[in-house]
Structure 1
């Protein structure tokens, strides 16, 4: 039996982790609160339960103790959090958990720990076609990269009179960076939304009235990085009309690799964007001569 339960109050992280485990061949499902966990436990035994530490109703290490002492669960129990590894290791030891995973280590660490504790799945499932990100168009990355950032290269066309403004979502954990880019895009006539985490970005994308035409996505972010979030967008048929441009300080070769493998529509080096904006502020257009 290779059933794995993922318990996390972040729907985004639950979906990403369940997708990764399912693609690896495990029977995976998720829950975002304790009531949902109770329901999942009635559906049959699990080989392993991955438990977030900072749940709103109860700490994950307390849930581990509850599952062991009250529910008599024999599943392998693993704590999962972005707290320091030293603190996480202590919580795992004192609660009787079978292991722990630092969220910042990514989905690869989750798969490695699951395989270590319960072994590989008996039969490797073929991932559903929907979970495979579509390949990025061959010309998309260079096109976006070479377009002058100050002219919004690769972005939707300027709005026609009487039509909705093109909507852009900036996802970046640097508030200063996000606000500078936002101000520039607003002056160009775009409707702009900003999120500093993938969770907040997901809530914006899920609402039809705020769903963007394009996501300008930082690559290096906590918990769920830009590459993982891009895969999430591109593998969900609900979001098939959304374009994704990576905007990062990574070197161009790395950006091209991530763009290709995550299915992004293109990339814009962040230093090029920021340099262009700063240069324009420092060198305003000269006043017209009388």
Structure 2
């Protein structure tokens, strides 16, 4: 196990920390007094961010360069989560988007997206969950998207990866809460970051009133974490709509797995003879 003297606020490992949401989480957490382990592929950007945050806030900010789609490099991050007892917060943020529908998009790029948006955060969440549960404390923040609930918008491949992260988070909450581990799912709406340019899309196509600044997003997400929210949707004015959807979903549960098919299918089968 890695031995280190922790910050009184603990250490946060942040993935996708070189820009956008991840870099903003790193800045906000540094200002709260958290020490940092910053993970991304871009070494120069990470080092510049780490140096700036250390100079401005006095926190210890370490760089861990890794491509999370490469199993050997991802394993280094998993090992750090497993062995560094000072880490008590995982910001599971790294992700990418691929523009275009399933028949339009580069399928190799889609496969890479699945590796980054699903495989990597699942493995990191598992590593953190085991370590945190063994110590009886820790927090995992999984960054998903409001598109998890809107498959008809954007591409189904991207929204599908975010729906996976939402489902994973809800399941983790039930499993880990009794073990002292908190899990928050954050569902951003459209946010001003580099993901748009990297995906081949255009942020200019969005109405200005739909686009949130990244600082506002992260501030809201951290406020939701402080408030104990299991799911934080920064643009959502009221939780009533979300709760109504949850209630309707839960009401379906007793009817989703029964021995007999529904009567309408039996009738249709008879009429087809």
- Scaled by the length of structure 1, what TM-score is found? 0.29
Give the helix-richer structure, 1 or 2. 2
TM-score normalised by the chain length of structure 2: 0.30
